[in-house]
A and B are shown apart, each in its own frame.
Chain A
Amino acid sequence: AQSVTQLDSHVSVSEGTPVLLRCNYSSSYSPSLFWYVQHPNKGLQLLLKYTSAATLVKGINGFEAEFKKSETSFHLTKPSAHMSDAAEYFCVVSDHGSSNTGKLIFGQGTTLQVKP
C-alpha cells in the first residue's frame, strides 16, 4: 500500500531564507507524487507533481521538489521564503492499488510559518 510521511508538523523560517519541507513515501509501484498547499480558508492548490518524468520538478511560486528513489523522498524546497508562503503543505501520493481510481493519499501536513 502507498503512504507518505511528512517529517515535520511545523517549520518556521525567516523571510528570504530557504524552505525545506520533508516528505518520504512508501510505494510498491513507481509512484505519482504531488505537493498541495492550503492557505487559510482556501481550498487545496496543486504546487507541483512528479509522474515519472524528470526527477527535479518545478512548480508554482518558485517551489521545487526532487524525487529520489534511493531515499524514497520527495522533499519540497524554495530558495527564498516569502511571507505569502505561510500555509499548510501536503505531500500526496496517487494510490496504485487494485482499483486504481486516482485516489490520493495525503501526508499529515506541514505548517510553514514565515517570520518577517
Chain B
Amino acid sequence: EPEVTQTPSHQVTQMGQEVILRCVPISNHLYFYWYRQILGQKVEFLVSFYNNEISEKSEIFDDQFSVERPDGSNFTLKIRSTKLEDSAMYFCASSVRGPNTEAFFGQGTRLTVV
C-alpha cells in the first residue's frame, strides 16, 4: 500500500542551525502539506503546496520556514534558523484532490532544538 515517508524520524539540532525535513508523498498525489504538533498541543497546519507553489500558509509559517519540491518526488521543509520553540513533531501529508478529501500522513519527524 502506498504511503508517505518522512526522514529522519528524529532530528536533534542546536539553536540557530538550519534543518531540512524530508518527505516523499504518495506518487499520484497533487496536494502536499506540512503540519506540526508541539508536545501536548494540537496538530497545527503550517503550509499547503500545489502546482509547485505555496497555496496557503499559517501565521506560524514565517520567513524562517520554506518548502520545496526539488525533484518531483521529494517535498522538503526547511527551517533556516531554529529556535527552541520549533521543537515539535512535524508531519508531512499528501492528498489526491485537496479540498474535502482525506490526507495521508507520514510517521512524522520529531525535531528537538537544544
Contact = CB atoms under 8 A, between A and B. Distances in A.
Interface of A: 32, 34, 36, 41-46, 49, 51, 90, 94-96, 99-109
B56 A101 contact: yes
B33 A102 contact: yes
Contacts of B95: 102
9 contacts: A32-B100, A36-B105, A44-B43, A44-B93, A103-B48, A106-B35, A106-B43, A106-B44, A107-B42
Interface residues of B, number: 27
Contact of A105 (B45, B48, B93, B106): B45
Interface in B86-114: 91, 93, 95, 97-108
B106 A99 contact: no
B100 A102 contact: yes
Contact of A103 (B33, B102, B107): B33
A4 B103 CA distance: 17
